[in-house]
Amino acid sequence: MKNVRTVAANTFREAVRDRVLYNLVFFALLMMGAAILVGQISIGIEESVIISLGLTAISVIGLFIAVFIGVGLVSKEMDKRTLYALLAKPVERWEFLLGKFCGLVMTLTVNTAAMAVGLYLALWSVKHTLEKSDAWVLVAVYLILLKLALIVALALLFSCFTTPFLAILFTAGIYVAGVFAGNLRTMQAVNITAGAMTLMKGISYLLPNFENFNVMGAVAHGRGVPGAVVGQATLYAVCYGVVVLAGAAAIFSRRNLK
Amino acid sequence: MATPAIEIEHLSKEYPYGFLNLKKKKSLEDLSMRVETGEVFGFLGPNGAGKSTTIKLLMRLIFPDGGTARILGKSIDDVSMHRDIGYLPEQPYFYDYLTAAELLDYFARFHGLTAADRQTRVQNMLKKVGLETAKKIQLRKYSKGMLQRVGLAQAILHDPQVVVLDEPMSGLDPLGRREVRDIILELKKEGRTVLFSTHILSDAEMLCDQVGVIVGGKLRGVGTPGEIVGIKTQGMEILFEVADGKNLPLLSKATRTGGSYRVQLPEQELYGAIDQLKAAGARILSVAQIKPTLEEFFMNLVEADRAQANAVEVSGK
Name residues of chain A where pLDDT drops below 50. Answer: none
Write down the pLDDT at residue A253. Answer: 92
**Which residue, B4, B96, B50, B14, is CA-closest to B213?**
B50
Write down the pLDDT at residue A145. Answer: 96
The verdict on residue A199 lying in a domain is yes
How many residue pairs from chains A and B have C-beta atoms closer than 8 A?
Answer: 71
Write out the residue range of the structural domain in which residue A133 sits: 2-252
Comparing CA positions, the residue from B231, B294, B296 lying closest to residue B45 is: B294
With beta carbons less than 8 A apart as the criterion, state whether A105 and A7 touch.
no
Question: Is residue A204 in some structural domain?
Answer: yes
Q: How far is B107 from chain A (nearest CA, A)?
A: 7
* Residue A173 to residue A171: CA distance in whole angstroms: 5
Any domain includes A138: yes
Q: Which of A10, A17, A84 sits opposite B89 (nearest CB)?
A: A84
The predicted model scores a pTM of: 0.84
CB contact under 8 A, B61 and A2: no
* Min Cα–Cα distance to chain A from B253, Å: 51
Q: Is residue A258 part of a domain?
A: no
Contact A24, A63 (CB under 8 A): no
What is the rounded average pLDDT for all residues in chain B? 86
Domains and CATH numbers, chain B: 6-230 (3.40.50.300), 235-290 (3.30.70)
pLDDT at residue B317 tops 80? no
Identify any residues that bridge with B85 across adjacent strands, giving them in sequence order. B162
> What's the total number of domains in chain A?
1
Rounded to an integer, what distance in angstroms lies between the CA atom of residue B230 and that of residue B69? 30
Q: C-alpha distances in angstroms, A117 versus A55, A145, A150, B107, B159?
A: 12, 14, 23, 35, 48
What's the gap in Å between the CA of A172 and the closest CA on chain B? 25
Task: Please name the residue of chain A whose CA is at the shortest distance from the CA of residue B14.
Answer: A256
Q: What phi, psi does B263 have (nearest 5°)?
A: -135, 140
> CB atoms < 10 A from the CB of B251, how many?
18
Question: Does A222 fall in a domain?
Answer: yes
What's the pLDDT tens digit per position in A8-65? 999 999 988 876 567 667 666 766 676 667 767 766 677 888 888 889 989 998 999 9
Give the phi and the psi of residue B120 in degrees, each rounded to 5: -65, -50
CB distance B61–A87 less than 8 Å?
Answer: yes
Q: What burial letters (b/e) apply to B133-159, b meaning 16+ CB within 10 Å?
A: ebbeeebeebeeebbbbbbbbbbbbbe
pLDDT band at B233 (very low <50, low <70, confident <90, very high): low
- Residue contact A88–B110, C-beta within 8 A: no
C-alpha separations of A15 from A104, A148, A172, A219, B283 in Å = 8, 16, 21, 30, 68
Chain B residues with a Cβ under 8 Å from any Cβ in chain A: 56, 59-63, 79-83, 85-89, 91-95, 97-98, 106-107, 109-112, 151, 154-155
If you measure CA to CA, which chain A residue comes closest to B152?
A85
Q: Which are the contacts of A246, defined by CB distance < 8 A and separation ≥ 6?
A: none
Among A85, A162, A95, A159, CA closest to B56:
A85
Least confident of A182-191, B136-145, B212-221, B225-234: B225-234
Nearest CA in chain B to A82: B94
Task: Determine the Cα–Cα distance for residues B220 and B230; give it in Å rounded to an integer.
Answer: 15
pLDDT at B294 > cutoff 70: no
Residue A43 domain-assigned (yes or no): yes
| Alpha-carbon distance B91 to nearest alpha carbon in chain A (angstroms) | 9
- Residue A257 falls within a domain, yes or no? no
Residue B11 CA to residue B288 CA, distance in Å, equals 39
pLDDT of the residue at B293: 60
Please state the ipTM of this predicted complex: 0.85
Express each pLDDT in B5-32 by its tens digit. Answer: 999 999 999 888 887 777 888 888 899 9
Per DSSP, helices labelled H in chain B are 51-58, 100-109, 115-128, 144-156, 174-189, 201-207, 225-228, 270-279, 294-315
